A and B are shown apart, each in its own frame.
Chain A
């Protein structure tokens, strides 16, 4: 559960309205794979991940990144109930995908970097604080069903 003040909610809405979720998702997943190369192990079937350029232009990375950020978008609309929102995905990432939950925090940080890069000055300190709370809440929710 993430508690955002009125000001933080407004900042999140203002930032998110300027985000192209498809492109940002592709960029975030691509950057995760470049900056934290061990994460590539979860995407063996994606083809060419041999260089930063290959990763950023890989169509399967882009498609999957888009999927991931649309799921994040879902979280933004259910900040009062993230654990329920991500319960199934949490089970999937634990039982089928075997993803270390630390990687959710890494992806969250990359999403914040991507937002900051794309919005420049519009990514205000208040917006950053709000999004940092959100990504942290989403990471926790995704780890919640782990056993």
Chain B
């Protein structure tokens, strides 16, 4: 369970309200696949991922990135209850998708990098601290049902 102060929650919501989920999701997933190439193995059916520009331009990567970040939006709405919120997705990623939970932490870090690149000055140290806690909490929640 991640313990966020009310200031931290306000900072998280403040940034989230300005996020373009479709673009940011596509970019975050794309960058994950470029920076940590082994993650491409989970997306065999996505077509051309032969170069960074192929990956970043791939429509299935973009669509799936949007889906992933939309789900992340549920975390922002349920910051006090991440484990329940992600229980089903946790089972899915363990039982069907066989994703090593370390990859959730990597994606969380990539998301922070994308947010910092988009928001510049608005990505203050306090905003970064709050978001770092949130992505860590989401990664833990996604790993919670692993067995």
Contacts and interface: CB of A to CB of B under 8 A. Distances in A.
A and B interact:
yes
Given A109-B109, A113-B112, A116-B113, A125 B30 contact: yes
Q: What 8 A-B pairs come out closest when comparing CB atoms? A: A117-B116, A34-B125, A125-B34, A116-B117, A129-B35, A35-B129, A116-B113, A116-B116
A124 B123 CA distance: 18
Nearest to A7: B52
User: Chain B interface mostly helix, strand, loop or mixed?
Assistant: helix
Among A52, A112, A116, A120, chain B packs the most CB atoms within 10 A around the CB of A116
A124 B30 CA distance: 11
Interface of A: 30-31, 34-36, 52, 55-56, 109, 112-114, 116-121, 123-126, 128-129, 132
Contact of B113 (A34, A36, A128): A128
A55 B52 CA distance: 37
A126 to B, nearest CB: 5
Contacts of A55: 125
A109 B35 CA distance: 13
A71 B114 CA distance: 26
B139 interface: no
Contacts of B132: 35-36
B35 A128 contact: yes
